[in-house]
Amino acid sequence: MPEDLRRVRERLLSSERVVVLTGAGVSAESGVPIFRGEGGLWRDFRPEDLATPQAFKRDPVLVWEWYDWRRERIASARPNPAHYAIAEIEKRLSGGTARAAKTGKKRARHGGPPGKSFTLITQNVDGLHSLAGSVNILEIHGSIWRVRCLGCGRETVNRDVPIKILPHCACGGVLRPAVVWFGETLPQAVIEAAFGASSGADFMLVAGTSGVVEPAASLALRAKERGAFVAEINTGRTPLSGMADATLHGKAGEILPGLL
Ligand code: BV8
Ligand code: ZN
Question: Residue 115: what pLDDT?
Answer: 82
CB 228 within 8 A of CB 11: no
Give, rounded to a whole angstrom, the gap between the first and last alpha carbons of the chain.
Answer: 12
Residue 113 — pLDDT band, cuts 50, 70, 90? low
Question: Residue 100: what pLDDT?
Answer: 40
* CB atoms closer than 10 angstroms to residue 137: 19
Which three-class secondary structure state does DSSP give residue 94?
A: coil
CB contact set of 40 (below 8 Å; sequence gap of 6+) = 33, 34, 46
Nearest to 124 by CA among 51, 63, 208: 208
Q: Is the pLDDT of residue 20 over 70?
A: yes
Report the pocket of ligand 1 as residue ranges, CB < 6 Å: 23-25, 28-29, 34-37, 47-48, 51, 123-125, 141, 179-185, 208-210, 212-215, 233-236, 238, 251-252
Query: Minimum mean pLDDT among 33-42, 46-55, 63-72, 133-142: which range?
Result: 33-42
Angle at 88 between CA 85 and CA 91, to 5 degrees: 160
Q: Can you tell me the distance from the alpha carbon of 41 to that of 47, in angstroms, rounded to the nearest whole number?
A: 8
154 DSSP 8-state letter = -
Type of residue found at 15: S
- Could you write out the DSSP letters of every residue in 160-228? -SSPPSSPB-TTSPBEEEEEPPTTSPPPHHHHHHHHHHHHH-SEEEEES--S-STTHHHHHHHHHHTT-
**Cα(167) to centroid(ligand 2), Å:** 11
Q: Can you tell me the distance from the alpha carbon of 260 to that of 258, in angstroms, rounded to the nearest whole number?
A: 6
Q: Is the pLDDT of residue 47 over 60?
A: yes
Query: Is there a catalytic annotation at residue 249?
Result: no
Nearest to 18 by CA among 201, 259, 196, 245: 201
